[in-house]
Amino acid sequence: MSSEISYEEFIKARDLYKHKKPADPIDVVKEFFSEEEVVTKILLAVNIVFYVVEAVGFKDTALYDMNLYKVASRKEYYRIITYTFSHADYNHLFGNMVFLLLLSPTLERHHGSKKYGIVICLLVLVQGLVFCLLTYIMTFLPAYGGSDYYYSYCVIGFSGINYAFILFWSYVGKSNHYFWKYCRLLIVAAIWIHCIMDNLEGGNISVLGHFGGALSAMIIRFLFFTSVERLFGSGRMNFWTYISR
């Protein structure tokens, strides 16, 4: 069967295209965020906006990073949230956004956008508080920096959330083949080894920041998830189902 179109059909299609109304940019944005994985897209957009604001407007990532001194002494509590979306440079942003796009969409489809959004809000807040707690503990360990941790040890970037995504990934669904679980564990171990080696060599990768993200995911999963990894659903007893009985 021939796939060619007649001259009249071509003219009709051409005229229709010529008189087509240009798309409204606002409508394009609305359509983009009305489709699937809307939370993932919002996370991507927020990270990019923060980077642009820092690069063009303020040119100072120190406005949004976090350490215990800035939160506890200067009472800049907003840093508990803003540091997650701030990045040191383009490479830092690019690497974290690649992991976001690899890990987040599947998690969002699994839990549903609404409940996944709740997970992210909890995760950002709990991660900041966990990092403050870990930093406070480190101030009592002279071998690991002592009081210097209070003033100088800071964290910045989306890496902690990505570590939380990896942990959530390990529990998606009722059953996962052990081979893939071990693969993910090996990936996490490799990244951890890289972080630790970088710190031993005087680098600037925050081990506490990465560990804080994974630990926060464990806390949220224990308190709010059921045995089949659904928020607020039936299954084994958790904190949410206990207080909402």
- CATH number where 121 lies: 1.20.1540.10
Residue 143, in any domain of the structure: yes
Residues 210 and 212: their CA atoms lie apart, in Å, by 5
Residue 96 within any structural domain of the chain = yes
The reply to whether 175 falls in a domain is yes
> According to the model, what pLDDT value does residue 145 have?
57
At residue 244, the pLDDT reads 39
Q: Give the pLDDT confidence score for residue 239 in this predicted structure.
A: 44
Domain of 57 in residue numbering reads as 22-243
Within-domain flag for 2: no
Tokens of 91: 């490479």
Output the six-digit token pair for 61: 């990532």
Query: Under 8 Å CB-to-CB from 138, ≥6 apart: which residues?
Result: 144, 145, 149, 153, 208
pLDDT score recorded for residue 174 = 47
Is 172 buried (19+), middle (13-18) or exposed (0-12) by CB count in 10 A?
Answer: middle
Query: pLDDT 10s per residue in the chain (245 long)?
Result: 455 667 667 666 666 555 555 555 555 555 555 567 889 999 999 999 988 888 776 655 566 778 788 888 888 888 889 889 988 888 889 989 998 998 898 888 888 888 899 999 999 999 989 888 888 887 777 655 556 666 677 778 898 898 888 888 776 654 445 555 566 666 666 666 655 665 555 556 667 777 788 888 888 888 877 655 556 555 444 444 433 33
Helices and strands, counts by H and E, the chain: 12, 0
Report yes or no on 6 lying in a domain.
Answer: no
In a domain? residue 229: yes
Asked whether residue 11 is assigned to any structural domain, the reply reads no
Domain assignment of residue 127, yes or no? yes
Question: How many domains, in total, are found in the chain?
Answer: 1
